[in-house]
Structure 1
Amino acid sequence: MKMKTRFILFTLLMGFSLISCEDYLDTKSLSKDSQGDIFNDVSNTSSAIVGVYGELIGDNGYGNRLSEILPMAADDFETSGDYNCNDRRGISMYAACSSNPELDDPFRQLYRGIERANLCIKYIPTSTVYQNGSESDKNMMDRYLGEALTLRAQFYYELIRNWGDVPFQDKPSSDYDNLFLEKTDRDIIYEQLLVDLEEAAQYVPWRTEANIPPTRLDKAAVKALRARIAMARAGYSLRRESQQMEQGSEPNTYYQIARQECLEVIERRGDHDLNPNFEDIFRSLHEGRADNTNEIIFEVGAFGGNSKTDSKLGYYNGLRHDRASQWNGGGGVNAIPVYFYEFKREDQRRDVTINIFEVNADEKTEVARADRWTDGKFRKSWTNITGPSQNLAVNWPIIRFSDVLLMFAEADNELNNGPSNKAISALQEVRARAFIDNPDEIEPIPTGQQEFFDAIVHERYLEFGGESIRKYDLIRWNLLNEKFIETRQKLENFMEGTGDYTNVPAVIYYKEASYDPSLSAQEVVEDLDIFFAGNDESTVFYNPAPDASQVPSGYSEARWRDGIEEEYIDSERKGFMQYFEPNRKELLPLYDDIINTNYNLTQDYGY
């Protein structure tokens, strides 16, 4: 709690000490002299940096829209509801109108963060304390400069992966004669961000060197972000000129950057390591603490119980709790039903990632129909907040150690035309954690380049479900359309009970069971009162349902496979990724008013 208290105090100070632009590329600011004076004091500079962090969170940041609305449109999860081009479902079904208000405020908030970061980047090196202060003060100011450079890179990375080429502003607004900037090619922006992050890594200490909390950047976070941006630069993206998905030039240059940065993080196990308890990673986000091994390298802090500084994680998304229950929340994000069957039943990630149950008004569990399964890594009942509260102070994970392992493995495989022993070990580590209690179920790691790449694609699918990574992975691999076609076919087979889903039950018979959120996700699923007619209870989801005449009285029926109908797969209102078009919909349109207020901006990408 001390960590969050300090964050609140710094942010309150920030409100009095620094004014940033209030709108996209606005010119509102203090005079140049008063801006510079702020950075002549270490404490005020600290407040200014926390103000930059403040633009990560809230409803328009990773508290909701950047975490749960813009990215939830892949083969793992999607937002719930029926299609409307002007709301979240228009985004999830790849048919957002440029008038969709969900596109407006996140874009503007990212630029507010950039403006705040630019002020710090400009004035810290010229400040008197930076140039003439004590060695300890200079070191602290260096760290703040490194944090500002890294946060600016995070803001731009988020803009590019959603909107493609965007205006590149690398100075405070007051330094521009004309703020109506044109779009800059993303590769140019990426190149500058990679340079910035290389510099930032010299300034920001490792976590154990400065007792850095997970809501502040450490050297591992800087390096991990540099690796992530390098992987994006090496991968595919939708280009303005060709209107085609194209791979970035000289990809091996960027795979090499990613491999090296990841390797340096991997070699510092005292700072970050895999957490053997997968669930603890996500419990920690709800409890205001670091996870047991600092697997989360960087997370966005949430606090304050309001839409500006808090998050709706666990209320908007996550386990569905009936409104009449003490928790009242969840259900805004739904699992793609066939995703459940991508996990082996012994994989500890399955029941953490996907909720196949919901909590009713009597606070008991009920098996949910297949089109109502939810993302399980966020659950209001994992917090100590009850009642109608929507802001739960649940943090958002930006990057984890397992991501670093898998990026390393992927980059190594690309550079060597096949995986080295180190790459194989990195993938093996992630897979072994998943089956920590069932090591005999671990599949061997392939050694061919394409087969290893395919294994990475699938492992990331299982590892990061619901963490808003899958959509962007599929885009940089240029696999989005292929996976949507594949998933549509799987859904057809699931609905019809054919192929891999021949033995999947059409219905599940269950009784209400007591819900105890202190139990592990796996224990809650094991405690579901399901009638299994003599089969091993653990295989009930993998065997046909018993005949209804065998089912004792008192059991209710949940539509399992029967919960998916043709409308779910192919309809204007609900169809799976119904409006996706390759070489067009990989990016979002700019909001109309943003175009209207800058005559140098164009819509592009077929919008």
Structure 2
Amino acid sequence: MRKPILIFSVLILLFTSCKKGFLDVSSDSKYEADYVFGNKEEINRVLTAVYASLMSNDTYGNAYFNTFALNSDVEFSTFSSELPNVNGEEFRAFDGAQHGPSVQRFWNKQYEGIERANIFIEGIQNSPAFNKNDKDLTQMLGEAKVLRAMFYHDLVVMFGDIPFNTQPSMNLKSAFVIPIRDRNEILSFLIEDLRGVASGMKYAHQTSEGESGTEFGIERVSKAFCYGMIARMALTRGGYALYPEGTIGAMKRMADYKDYYRIAMQYADSVISSGMHNLGKSYRNVFIDQTNNIVTNNDDPMFEIPFLRNGSSNLGFVTGGAVGSTEGVTNHVWGGVNGGMRLNAFYAYSFDRKDIRKDYTVGYWNYDAAGQPQVLTDYTLYNNKWSKLWADAGRALGNQSAGNTGINLPYMRYADVLLMFAEAVNEVEDGLNGSNGAKALDAFKQVRRRAFIVDDHDEKVESYTNTVAASKESFFNAIVQERKWEFGGENMRWKDLVRWNLYAKVVYDSFKEYLIVASMGGGDFMEGSEDYQTLPFNKFFRRIPNPGDKNIYPNTALPIIEFYNPWEATLHPGTGWETATQYVWYNEDTSMPRAQILYSFRGYIKGGPGGNWESLNRNNLPPVRYILPFPNQAIQLSNGAYKNQYGY
């Protein structure tokens, strides 16, 4: 039996032979056409190649949660030019282009992973070693199918209708231009595909590696995560999406959407009923543990993409407050931080004042090269999840480190499943008075309980939840808000808003919010200004030594900043704060709002002399063009089979 030609080096999906017009999917896990997998150990090694496609900064190591974190009321990046950059990379402002290098790289790596999965799936199913009663083999088959579903689902969410194929490219012979398939057909196929393998899979604590018995846990695909992916894909299939009608497109959902909400309800319930996951850790410790490479198999994270320290993943480098350095070297062991994956300036003020998620998620300061904290005076806030500074000193990457932190990405958390279940029940049963209403309410309460200290549970959990559960509409609105607070900085917000058909209104309102407050700073009190009179434009702070208490600040070495009443406007803090420094939180003192206000949503709505914001009617808004363009290379090499729509 010939050995497989396994090339585990970094190759991309290649589009070749423009002369022939073929879409040639070249795999870095190639096999001779008649090769047959021989035994479990070999099969497991080949499965590793499928996982390797997850671990690229072109996808889940950076681009997935950073480059394509489109602007909203949660994740937010500023843009100061009225016109798009020629590099075509400004996707976050809805102004990217098909020649943008990032979109090409993302596309390539996703299809590379799909090709590897297709090769593996065919290989294991045709192997004489395969036995449907062998739990190890059915587990590995399930893992590959779930990973393939991940790759395809995220392509569908970001690109809409896409090329779809479930065979290795070597089986396609001359038909290398993979046909574009309707996204609903793709999602329906993937859902049924995973339903077919779920029963043969293992839970995270049951997975182990060979004779060593090393537990893979949530760094490999489990039965619970398979259930969760079915639920996530079902909600995508049942939700709204942008379809290519007219110039930009139209938002709509399919007539059978409730069928898919029922599937989401069923499989989210399967995760909950299994009892394999819970919200036992505090909210902050979920992410602090990830920065310390601590993996827990029965808590909130259900699947973490496993990255390598000093090898991959920019979590902790683009997230967290910026950390300056001198010639690439810091005077402490944590190294430099870019801190470019930011949050909307008003996000912090949407939280309940007692919600403990806010103080961990939102960051207000950075560190200069001398290791001193400096207040951020910007139109954004830092996304403090996974900050490199949260790692214990013994786990820090060193004073010359930057990216490639190796921090795992929690691709799915149990909190997501709980809220998906609550949402699905509310939609399917028209509120919470049906047979699953009490369970849905409890799922929602579980997320709320972790967000507040025990002393506040009567008011903030029990009373609050019972109030919002009064109607289908009020409970849906509560879920919209709860997901906003729970998943801040995880690049889930715009995707949720799309499937709820709320993205246009939220983008419009976010632009107006920035514009109104900026105009107030310049002395122009527009309609709506009254809602922002109490914002603390002038804040007082002081630098203090690190208290050494992780419950106050997860890093126990660097000095920190303490604010006086960050919620309300204050003339002066008074006794004990005589040495406090005052700063202007929202740096705007001109009659014309600055460029970052006018152009950060410019692909949809913008201000300035050529702006369109005054012509938009909030009650009749056009859709947001969130869909990414097919990359140039794919279009050129498809021999005319592929083309961009949505106004590209």
**If the length of structure 1 is used for normalisation, what is the TM-score?**
0.88
CA deviation profile, 1:58-81 (whole Å, cap 9, x unmatched): 211111011211134221012355
1:52 aligns with 2:50: yes
Match of 1:286 in 2: 291
Match of 1:536 in 2: none
CA deviation profile, 1:381-417 (whole Å, cap 9, x unmatched): 1231132322110111111001001000000001111
* 1:28 Cα offset (Å): 3.7
* 1:452 Cα offset (Å): 0.8
Whole-angstrom distance in 2 between the partners of 1:19 and 1:201: 31
1:454 aligns with 2:481: no
* 1:286 Cα offset (Å): 1.4
Whole-angstrom distance in 1 between the partners of 2:30 and 2:369: 57
Whole-angstrom distance in 2 between the partners of 1:253 and 1:101: 38
More helix by share: 1
Greater shift after overlay, 49-58 or 14-23?
Answer: 14-23
Whole-angstrom distance in 2 between the partners of 1:411 and 1:76: 23
Question: How many residues were matched structurally?
Answer: 580
1:572 aligns with 2:599: yes
Match of 1:463 in 2: 486
Checking the alignment, whether the CA contact within 8 Å between 1:369 and 1:563 is kept in structure 2 is no
SS at match of 1:238: strand
Whole-angstrom distance in 2 between the partners of 1:257 and 1:394: 32
Whole-angstrom distance in 2 between the partners of 1:232 and 1:517: 44
Match of 1:395 in 2: 408
Whole-angstrom distance in 1 between the partners of 2:499 and 2:100: 25
CA deviation profile, 1:317-350 (whole Å, cap 9, x unmatched): 3221122443211321221111000112211110
Match of 1:216 in 2: 220
Alignment of 1:282-431 (within 5 A): 282-291=287-296, 293-303=298-308, 305-306=310-311, 310-324=312-326, 325=330, 326=332, 327-383=335-391, 384-389=396-401, 390-419=403-432, 420-431=437-448
Whole-angstrom distance in 1 between the partners of 2:53 and 2:547: 36
Checking the alignment, whether the CA contact within 8 Å between 1:461 and 1:470 is kept in structure 2 is yes
SS at match of 1:541: coil
SS at match of 1:358: strand
Relative to structure 1, the CA distance from residue 207 to residue 172 in structure 2 (aligned partners, 3 Å threshold; closer, same or farther) is: same
Checking the alignment, whether the CA contact within 8 Å between 1:206 and 1:219 is kept in structure 2 is yes
Match of 1:153 in 2: 149
Whole-angstrom distance in 1 between the partners of 2:563 and 2:229: 48
* 1:131 Cα offset (Å): 4.8
Relative to structure 1, the CA distance from residue 575 to residue 436 in structure 2 (aligned partners, 3 Å threshold; closer, same or farther) is: farther
1:198 aligns with 2:211: no
Match of 1:542 in 2: 567
1:183 aligns with 2:180: yes
Match of 2:504 among 462, 473, 481: 481
Match of 2:633 in 1: 593
In structure 1, the gaps of 5 or more residues are 1-12, 533-539
Relative to structure 1, the CA distance from residue 38 to residue 292 in structure 2 (aligned partners, 3 Å threshold; closer, same or farther) is: closer
Whole-angstrom distance in 2 between the partners of 1:358 and 1:17: 39
Whole-angstrom distance in 1 between the partners of 2:274 and 2:100: 44
Checking the alignment, whether the CA contact within 8 Å between 2:320 and 2:383 is kept in structure 1 is yes
Whole-angstrom distance in 2 between the partners of 1:521 and 1:88: 42
SS at match of 1:299: strand
* 1:150 Cα offset (Å): 0.5
SS at match of 1:79: coil
Checking the alignment, whether the CA contact within 8 Å between 1:212 and 1:218 is kept in structure 2 is no
Relative to structure 1, the CA distance from residue 257 to residue 333 in structure 2 (aligned partners, 3 Å threshold; closer, same or farther) is: same
CA deviation profile, 1:186-223 (whole Å, cap 9, x unmatched): 01101110111102212221123334422101101001
SS at match of 1:561: coil
Alignment of 1:107-126 (within 5 A): 107-126=107-126
Alignment of 1:512-531 (within 5 A): 512-515=543-546, 519-520=550-551, 529-530=561-562
Whole-angstrom distance in 1 between the partners of 2:301 and 2:200: 21
1:274 aligns with 2:276: no
Greater shift after overlay, 570-579 or 377-386?
Answer: 570-579
Alignment of 1:224-239 (within 5 A): 224-239=228-243
2:306 counterpart letter in structure 1: G
Checking the alignment, whether the CA contact within 8 Å between 1:363 and 1:515 is kept in structure 2 is no
1:221 counterpart letter in structure 2: F
1:41 counterpart letter in structure 2: N
Checking the alignment, whether the CA contact within 8 Å between 2:364 and 2:381 is kept in structure 1 is yes
Greater shift after overlay, 26-35 or 222-231?
Answer: 26-35
